[in-house]
A = this chain, B = another copy of it.
């Protein structure tokens, strides 16, 4: 008789920090794959819904709620030491909201997706898929709402897009696109921020996922 496979949820948590797309990793302090960085995750025992389990993990790691969370892919035997199934999710968060756990010797840490070390459990592949998905969905959804605070300047929004897409965008075209598609709207307020003209503040017209 085959032993029942282990089921885990894992979460790719993205934030834009220092104008770069970064992912939250934890340091494995026990075998298997001890000493490597890996995606946060945990076993699923069937007593809750799968997405609730992923969401609980996300809250545990970041302290933040009501984030954009989407199922990515399910992989078998990422951990070759035993029959296993891993259901991957990804989430987008504004780094300002994050309160990382700092109790351990090696606390969780952000890593740039374009400069990842070799990770445990083929997590590099999982992250590569997640990056591809986020890049694609940024184009035709409003999921960026989950990366930014309630109010933000157009420059901040554009920087988030540029960090994720990995290339620069034209300011005028970006503004037109965001306003014409009604993804965002002006709040009427402005923010003074140095020796230059103040930036108008915007908000997302919806903080629920919307397809364009």
Contact = CB atoms under 8 A, between A and B. Distances in A.
B76 A50 contact: yes
A76 B46 CA distance: 8
Interface string A75-107: 111000001110100000000000000000000
Contact of A2 (B45, B49, B50, B77): B45
Interface in A116-175: none
A46 B2 contact: yes
Q: How many copies does the complex hold?
A: 2
Interface in A29-79: 44-47, 49-51, 71, 73-77
A156 B84 CA distance: 43
B4 A4 contact: yes
Interface of A: 2-5, 7, 44-47, 49-51, 71, 73-77, 83-85, 87
Given A2-B46, A50-B75, A71-B74, 6 more contacts: A4-B46, A44-B85, A46-B76, A46-B77, A46-B83, A51-B76
